[in-house]
Amino acid sequence: MYRFIFLCLLSIFTFSVHAQKKGVNKQDYIDIDKVNPWYWHYQGKTLLLLGGTWQDNLFNHPQGLEDHLDVLAEAGGNYLRNTMSHRNVGNVFAYKKGDDGKFDLDQFNEEYWERFENFLRLTHERGLVVQLEIWDPWDMYEDHQSFGGWSHHPYNPKNNSNYSAESSGMPEEINYPPTGKPSEHPFFKTIPELGDNTLLLAYQKAYMDKLLEHTLAYPNILYCVHNEIGEKVEFGDYWADYIWTKAAKEEVKIHVTDMRRSEDVRSEDHAHIKNNPERYSFLDISQNNAYAGLGQQHYENILYIKSQISDYPRPVNNNKNYGAARHGEEESVARMGRIVFAGSASARFHRPHPLEDPSAMYEKSDYGLGLSPRAQKVIKSLRLATDELDLNQTHPRNDLLKDPKPNSAYLLANTGIAYACYFPVPGEATLLLEKEELKNTLTYQWINLDDAEWSKNGTISLDEKTTFKTPDDRNHWILVLTSK
């Protein structure tokens, strides 16, 4: 017990030393773009976050990690998900084990934190932004993958030498999965407003302090309290406030959200996050990429969320875009395009669960395209296309499409300067261009998301018809028009 109190006090004094060694200035931290607050600003520019990786808990997979990050960066990716999880073969836990084979919650496992620090350093060096999910329900409920689930967790009283089920109020068995509704799980009731379990809360705080000791020294971190949580919002509120308070003491700029479980982003489950901008300074609507909508509805859901927070606009992230199991691989690729063309701040291919072996690092599965060869091409194509736009002046403008059919075309526009139109399926679209705002000649370029390179290009006169047809019968074309 005394050890974790010491660790809490020690973390207060270590941040400035760590940050100084890393050469990080407080003004370098990722922030909301001041010109276009639907996007992030990092390293001196407005930023669209794009990514795809093979595991959720990437820090706990050091084998091949550096090369994996390089492949992502070379594909134009700059966005990673990282859950603080221990669910796979080869992962380590946050605490040491004693001679009795049980975890000692008063002693951290330094290998776990060295892996985490290594991950933070490697991502920072490459300019990659990490969305960090701290409490992951898939580690707290029924067993999941090789070592996920309550039966393996150090906080399970049968697995540690610090407390019993009777003294802690923590169960030895949890045989149900996480859902979109609050459960009886006492792990999520430790705070004073709920169960007021001071014993376990102290250990939770010590863990959080150790984590923040590492992360607050890095400028490339976005904080998410949970992964797809359905428990009471008070628990997330408590930890969001806790993170903000720690960051304020260190005088560093951070951003925090929480990811709710419901796949209907119009539900009350998500309302608490979007209606509390002071606490949750950005949103993550990954569940919209599950069952909540296909085609045009998927796009409209994003615009709905943005309309609901228009009085306090802030980035809308999509840290998980699910794979073929959620309506097919073509739909998964199309969701990437619609996410970007709805003006979301981030889009990332979900990992290829249940693949755990590093030899599968570049494979895909029905659960996600990860960083597979196809995912790499899609990421690179989206990067090439959006780099032609000035993002801090760009907005979704489907109103500039003449009578579009559902799910036929989506438009981003910096009106009078540049336009990008995404066609998830082959077809055509007519753009309602304001000719008086444009020069007489427009340059056009086509790119297919599966090519990762420009194809057809040329110039057109504004006297010509502004109806554009995809170059061939493949899916996933982007047209970029610039007035030069």
Closest CA to 462 of 433, 484, 482: 433
CA distance 115 to 84: 11
CA distance 27 to 41: 11
CA distance 22 to 116: 15
| DSSP 8-state symbol, 181 | S
Task: Return the pLDDT at 8.
Answer: 43
Task: Return the pLDDT at 13.
Answer: 46
List, for residues 292-327, the tens digit of each pLDDT value: 668 999 999 999 999 999 999 999 999 999 999 989
Exposure of 149 by Cβ count < 10 A (0-12 exposed, 13-18 middle, 19+ buried)?
A: buried
Rounded average pLDDT per 10-residue block, the chain, 484 residues = 41 46 78 98 97 97 97 98 96 97 98 98 98 96 94 98 98 95 97 97 98 98 97 98 98 97 92 97 96 86 97 97 93 97 98 94 97 98 97 96 96 94 97 74 94 93 80 98 85
| Partner residues linked to 459 by β-bridges | 443
Whole-number percent of the chain with pLDDT over 90? 87
Closest CA to 412 of 435, 393, 429, 439: 393
Task: Return the pLDDT at 25.
Answer: 82
Element of type H or E holding 72: helix 65-74
Query: Domains along the chain?
Result: 2-392 (3.20.20.80), 397-483 (2.60.40)
> Residue 480 in 3-state DSSP?
strand
pTM, 2 dp: 0.94
Angle CA(380)–CA(41)–CA(303) in degrees, nearest 5?
75
| Partner residues linked to 322 by β-bridges | none
Task: Return the pLDDT at 464.
Answer: 60
Task: Return the pLDDT at 441.
Answer: 80
